[in-house]
Structure 1
Amino acid sequence: MSILTETFTLNNGVQIPKVGFGTWQIPDGAPTYDAVAAALKAGYRHIDTAKVYHNEKSVGKAMRDSGIQRNNIFLTSKLPAETKTYKGAIADFRKTMENLGTDYLDLYLVHAPWPWAEKGANYDKENIAVWQAMQDIYASGKVKAIGVSNFNVHDLQNILIDAEVKPAVNQIRYFIGYTEPEVTKFTKENDILVEAYSPLATGGILQNAAIEKIAANYDVSVAQLAIKFVLQNGALPLPKAAHEEHIKNNAQLDFHISTEDMVKLNQLKTEL
């Protein structure tokens, strides 16, 4: 069985493929279209995009042109971090649906708890309003699950207090040497799935000698080891690649990292 067909079960019972294909930093047009088309051809059935990536239209077109039935592809998009009002959230969701040319999303996330230009600022009140919009979007049936991204423990606690629908996912920056233990622990304790964006640290760990040495033990690439590491920690990796060969290789994960090596990898600290 391919890892691409295996699933995690979200806290509302929805099945989500264990490995996703990320599209962050892939330009709109041919680069995104070709990458998503190659990923789908290689067997990926979980595609992750966002309104702020400005490539939703190309993602949607590649999905439609693939010939794969919509219900066989798990599609995620995200509400822009700058949108912090109820009305704004509803409007941006409608635009995302229009861009993608789809009737529903499998997962919709709040991209961050603060606008990117104000990273770390307190938007507790605004996030409660935004979460109400997310819950209403969920109730409409146009999304199968809702969640958040880049939320720390405080941000999660803020919305969990009054939430009628618990976030199903918290998508965070997560890779060997940077596993955000505090927020990861809180997320898992609250039955929220951790999704790992940049599991290759945007390429930053590919030349790490310590990781290269462990990868050699399994005759795999650093990228393959890094993605498998995320999975064995119970998180969902979202590797991004633009070249067909890398897209295929990133899904070749039919090996098991030993307990000893997982301990070593979890103890590594990387400066990125």
Structure 2
Amino acid sequence: MNIQTSNAAAPAGLATQDLVRRFGGLKATDGVSLAVAPGELHALIGPNGAGKTTLINLLSGELRPDSGSVRLGAADVSRASVQGRVAQGMLRSYQVTSVFDSYTVLDNACLAALRKRRRRLSPWTALRDCADVVDAARRALQACGLDDVAEAPVESLAYGQRRQLEIAMALAGEPSVLLLDEPMAGMSAAESAGVIALLQSLKGRYTIVLVEHDMNAVFALADRISVLVYGKVIATGSADDIRNHPDVRRAYLGDDADA
């Protein structure tokens, strides 16, 4: 899968410093500091309840931190809204597919492209009359191997195609940073292989933060991996570093994990 990037923003760095989010007496993230380089694919792994989705929500702006900061490139976006971060180039997908079933695949991608542009359509303007929006949507669908089903209603898609559409909708916003929350959840092995190939094709063109439980995918894709346990980062490093880290093996991978 190949993507045209002439209109895409350059990858941006992403960083957090001592990020804390509490829910009552529970610290869902407990002083999380990350540094994701421009163009890096950085995976977040850890057991259920480790704080991974909370961290993604803090990065995207759906949650505000109790303390600490989030930086996108040179900008402090800790208090920016979701839409403000979208406008600055940060887009995300979700664990549960979030698409409009009765719309076509292309129309879903167009709506995502329109959101980035923060444009309102008048009652007399059809969505597809906006040439730049349609062009961005078609490029994203082509990148995700969905151009041949562009005019199909989303409700007709297989599950794996729906997950790929979520990624295409993020790409249609021409991001510099992609936040992907378990994009392979619920997929068959064949469907997962397709998404792995897609993400391989995007590496270096976008900064990607990936939350994923499929460790084969994580080890195949990630430039670096951070491991969260009870809201804390207990290790960050390459795939080999993480495979062989004794604390990670005890807390998540298991002592009998292949080295």
What TM-score do you get using the length of structure 1 for normalisation? 0.37
Normalized per residue, which structure has more strand?
Answer: 2
